[in-house]
Chains A and B, each alone.
Chain A
C-alpha cells in the first residue's frame, strides 16, 4: 500500500491564482481530512469528510473548497490564492470505527507527506 499520497510536493502561486491539491489514499478509509500547518501554530483542520459525497468544515475553511466523489480521493481547491494561504498542507485518513463505543478500537489518522505552498 502507498498509504496517503499528496501532489504536488511544492508549489508557488501568484495572488489570485487557483489550484487543486490532490490527496489519494489506497487503504479504503472512510474518513479523510485536510490540515494546514503554519510555523509555531501546529495543525489546524480545514475540511473533513466521513465518506464519499459527505464533507464538512473544520476550523479554518475560508478560502478553500473540497469534494469527495470517491472513497480514495479528497482534493482541496484554492480558488483565489492569498498570501495568508502560504502554509504546509497535510491530508490524512482514518478507517471507520468497527466498534465506535470501544475506546480501544480507536484508529489513528495516517498522514500524507504534505504539500508546501507559497503564495506571492
Chain B
C-alpha cells in the first residue's frame, strides 16, 4: 500500500533561513505528489504538485520541490523563510485511487 512519510513533526527556522521539509513515499509506481499548507483553523491549500511533467516543481509563495525517483523523495524547500510561512505542511500522494494518502504533517515555526 502507498505510504507517505514526513520526517520531523516540527521544524523551526529563523526568518531568512532556508526551509527544508522532507517527504518520502513508498510505491513501486511513482505517484502524483503534492504539498499542501494548512494555516491555523483553516482548510488545506495546494502549494505545488508533481505530475511527471518536470522533476523540479515551483509552487506558490516561493516554495519548490524536487522529485527524486532514486530516493523516492519529494522534499519541499524555500530559500528564505518568512514569518507568514509558519503553518503545517502536508505531503500527499495519489497512485490513481482517486484519493490522497497524506503524511502526518510537519509544523513549521519561523523565529524572528
Chain A residues engaging chain B, CB cutoff 8 angstroms: 4, 31, 33, 35, 40-45, 48, 50, 58, 90, 92, 94, 103-104, 106, 108-109, 111-114
Contact = CB atoms under 8 A, between A and B. Distances in A.
Given A42-B103, A44-B102, A113 B49 contact: no
SS class, residues of chain A in contact with chain B: strand
B32 A106 contact: yes
Determine the interface band of chain B, counting residues with CB < 8 A from chain A.
Answer: 20 to 34
Contact of A103 (B6, B42, B53): B53
Contacts of A41: 104
Contacts of A40: 9, 104-105
A42 B98 contact: no
Contacts of A109: 46, 100
B9 A42 contact: no
A45 B92 CA distance: 12
Given A40-B9, A111-B44, A104 B53 contact: yes
A58 B105 contact: no
12 contacts: A31-B98, A42-B6, A42-B90, A42-B102, A45-B100, A90-B44, A94-B98, A103-B52, A104-B51, A106-B94, A108-B46, A114-B41
